[in-house]
């Protein structure tokens, strides 16, 4: 995606300012949630002597991807259709060391009662047919602007380093080669996802055993 589209500035005419304002709202909500997550990470580090979060990524969905998503739903692209039907315009990815860290951070976010819990998709408990594992949580954050308060959704994807390794490469393979991913390749990718899951479970078990004898 080119830089112009990333900034939503390819939108022309009278529509450009309302869309730019909408993007600012999503960006503000995303940065607000990142500040909360960083604070949780620092507080948890004090109690477990390590940072549960390995790293955080963020992105605002490109205008092109938003348009594609709405086109698949047979909807036109307006401020209203984006607000109502695209919940992942603002996206945060939290990459944790261990599986238990994901649930700990998620539970703490759920305690923040000024955030509106919109939806949870637990693809760790129930992986996708592809083998994809991650914990998805969509929350609404209040953004105060010149037009008053707006609740803005932010999608938070939480996964381990191992799950992130698989998802990043699988995403690249699927999107780069698209039609060429045969069913046998899908099976092999699924099998790698299972191996990675075994590794995650084993690493966590080793971590807990080492902690128990400390
Ligand atoms: P991108 O480029 O990452 O943004 P929805 O988004 O809710 O309308 P869906 O499919 O019900 O549609 O949402 P879901 O299941 O929560 O998945 C959305 C996101 O999860 C995807 O975003 C991917 O980031 C990730 N994801 C889901 N399934 C897979 C998978 O099989 N492999 C990989 N690598 N990632 C997956 P986008 O919008 O597809 O792409």
Mind listing the pLDDT tens digit for each residue in 112-144? 999 999 999 999 999 999 999 999 999 999 999
Q: Residue 27: pLDDT above 60? A: yes
Q: For the domain that residue 142 is a member of, what is the CATH number?
A: 3.30.460.10
Find the mean pLDDT for residues 154-168.
97
pLDDT at 1: 41
In the chain, alpha helices (H): 3-6, 16-48, 63-72, 79-85, 99-110, 161-177, 183-213
Convert the pLDDT of each residue in 185-214 to its tens digit. 899 999 999 999 999 999 999 999 988 876
Distance 66 CA to ligand 1 centre (A): 13
Probe ligand 1: pick from 68, 123, 171, 194, max atoms within 8 Å of CB?
Answer: 171
Q: Has residue 148 been placed in a domain?
A: yes
Q: Is residue 46 part of a domain?
A: yes
**Cβ of 166 less than 6 Å from ligand 1:** no
Query: Could you list the residue range(s) of the whole structural domain that residue 20 is in?
Result: 13-162
With respect to residue 109, please indicate whether it lies within any of the assigned structural domains.
yes
174 occurs within a structural domain? no
Cα–chain center distance at 18: 25
How would residue 151 be classed by pLDDT, with cut points 50, 70 and 90? very high
Mean pLDDT across the chain: 91
- Model confidence at 23: pLDDT above 70: yes
User: Between β-strands 53-60 and 90-96, what pairing exists: parallel, antiparallel or unpaired?
Assistant: antiparallel
Ligand 1 centroid–CA 214 distance in Å is: 40
Q: To test ligand 1's pocket by mutation, which of 62, 65, 72, 88 has the most ligand atoms within 8 angstroms of CB? A: 88
Mean pLDDT of 27-54: 93
Average pLDDT, stretch 61-72? Answer: 94
Q: Find the Cα–Cα–Cα–Cα dihedral 121, 85, 57, 135, rounded to 10°.
A: 0
Is residue 212 one of the residues assigned to a domain?
Answer: no
Domain count, the chain: 1
Q: In the chain, what's the furthest Cα-to-Cα distance?
A: 66
Atom of ligand 1 nearest to the CA of 131: 31
Q: Is 202 inside a domain boundary?
A: no
In a domain, 1, yes or no: no
**In whole angstroms, what is the distance from residue 99 CA to residue 35 CA?**
22
pLDDT for the residue 13: 59
Examine residue 190 and state whether it is found in any structural domain, yes or no: no
CA 213 to centroid of chain Cα atoms? 35
Instruction: State how far the Cα of 156 lies from the Cα of 53, in Å rounded to an integer.
Output: 13
Tokens of 90: 């603002």
Confidence of residue 104 (pLDDT cuts 50, 70, 90): very high
């Amino acid at each position: 995606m080119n830089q112009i589209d990333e900034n939503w500035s390819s939108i022309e005419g009278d529509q450009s300012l309302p869309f730019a304002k909408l993007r600012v709202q999503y960006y503000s909500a995303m940065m607000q949630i990142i500040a909360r997550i960083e604070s949780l990470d620092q507080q948890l580090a004090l109690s477990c002597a390590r940072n549960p979060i390995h790293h955080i990524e963020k992105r605002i969905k490109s205008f092109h991807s938003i348009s594609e998503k709405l086109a698949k739903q047979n909807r036109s692209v307006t401020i209203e259709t984006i607000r109502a039907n695209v919940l992942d315009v603002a996206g945060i990815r939290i990459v944790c060391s261990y599986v238990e860290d994901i649930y700990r951070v998620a539970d703490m976010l759920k305690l923040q009662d000024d955030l509106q819990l919109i939806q949870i998709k637990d693809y760790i408990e129930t992986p996708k047919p592809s083998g994809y594992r991650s914990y998805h949580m969509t929350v609404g954050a209040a953004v105060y602007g010149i037009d008053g308060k707006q609740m803005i959704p932010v999608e938070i994807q939480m996964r381990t380093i191992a799950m992130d390794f698989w998802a990043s490469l699988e995403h690249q393979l699927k999107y780069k080669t698209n039609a060429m991913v045969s069913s046998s390749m899908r099976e092999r990718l699924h099998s790698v996802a299972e191996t990675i899951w075994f590794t995650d479970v084993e690493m966590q078990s080793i971590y807990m055993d080492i902690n128990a004898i400390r």
